[in-house]
């Protein structure tokens, strides 16, 4: 399988005043097309940083990331704008800009037809929240809203950063079924999680707590 994502000699540190935190020193990975990769690791091991490097949201100190053999440039990801990546961030607190749920959902791209939109809204319980202000939603309801927007995109690469942390059992099952279906249809999936039980959803794992980080087959 060709690499959908290739990480080459990547190094990353964060700095603030006199403080420095080294995340990666010489990271190399090949994530095959069509694989379902689960990224695990302790707090601060670099799970979200790896995702942001792949998206170009963070600039590495050295090394590079290639998406389908094209170098990822830092900045707002071109691949998201052109619908080649669907990204669900961990930061659901400041993800929304609209006043109501209805307004937030109206930002879906006009040129993308979502055949099962009503079904997605109903299964996530959003059809009953239509007139609610986003500000008043609970953490779980916000994550459901973010998940609905994510599920309505049709990108070949799906990247999810701790997508189920606020979800109850029912909604976590909906997420699992969605990812299974996406994987069966050939999409590449990168899934960051804290839940050990979600490891078995995927085909590969990257454990960032290991001294030599690599892609392992499950």
Partner 1 sequence: MNHTIPALRKTYGDNPSFILEAPEQSISGAGYTCIIGENGSGKSTYGETLAELSSHNSDEKWYYLPQHLDRFLFAENVSEQLSALLSQEINQTRLVSLIEELGFSDPEGMLHFPFLLMSGGERRRMALVCVFYLEPARLILDEPEIGVTTKENMVLLSKLHNLAGTNARVIIISHNAEFVRQSSDIICLINGKIARAGRTEELISDPNFELEKYGVRFSQ
- Across the strands, what pairs with 8? 64
Whether 161 contacts 86, CB under 8 Å: no
What is the contact mask toward partner 1 in residues 149 to 188, using x (rule: CB under 8 A)? Answer: -------------x--xxxxxxxx----------------
Residue 151 has a CB neighbour count (10 Å cut-off) of 24
Tell me the closest approach of the beta carbon of residue 190 to partner 1, in angstroms.
17
Q: Is 217 in the site for partner 1 (CB under 8 A)?
A: no
Residues near 148 by beta carbon (within 8 Å), at least 6 away in sequence:
105, 120, 121, 124, 126
Q: Is 104 in the site for partner 1 (CB under 8 A)?
A: no
Of 125-144, which residues contact partner 1 (CB under 8 A)?
125, 128-129, 131-133, 136-141, 143-144
Query: Which of residues 36 and 166 has its CB atom nearest to partner 1 in the complex?
Result: 166
Q: Is 211 in the site for partner 1 (CB under 8 A)?
A: no
Binding-residue total with partner 1 (CB under 8 A): 43
Tell me the closest approach of the beta carbon of residue 88 to partner 1, in angstroms.
14
Strands of the sheet containing 3-16, edge to edge, are 19-32, 3-16, 62-67, 70-71
Report residue 130: phi and psi, to 5°.
Answer: -50, -45
């Amino acid at each position: 399988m060709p690499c959908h994502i290739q990480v080459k000699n990547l190094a990353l540190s964060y700095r603030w005043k006199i403080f420095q935190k080294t995340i990666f020193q010489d990271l190399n990975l090949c994530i095959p097309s069509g694989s379902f990769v689960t990224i695990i690791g302790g707090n601060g091991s670099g799970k979200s940083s790896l995702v942001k490097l792949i998206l170009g949201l963070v600039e590495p100190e050295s090394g590079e990331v290639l998406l389908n053999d094209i170098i990822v440039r830092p900045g707002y990801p071109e691949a998201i704008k052109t619908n080649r990546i669907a990204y669900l961030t961990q930061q659901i607190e400041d993800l929304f800009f609209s006043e109501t749920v209805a307004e937030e959902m109206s930002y879906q791209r006009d040129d993308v037809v979502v055949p099962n939109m009503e079904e997605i809204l109903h299964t996530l319980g959003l059809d009953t929240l239509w007139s609610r202000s986003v500000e008043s939603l609970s953490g779980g309801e916000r994550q459901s809203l973010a998940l609905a927007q994510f599920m309505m995109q049709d990108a070949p690469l799906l990247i999810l950063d701790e997508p189920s942390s606020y979800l109850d059992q029912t909604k976590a099952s909906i997420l699992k079924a969605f990812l299974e279906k996406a994987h069966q249809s050939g999409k590449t999936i990168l899934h960051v999680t804290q839940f050990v039980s979600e490891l078995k959803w995927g085909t590969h794992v990257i454990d960032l707590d290991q001294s030599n980080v690599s892609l392992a087959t499950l």
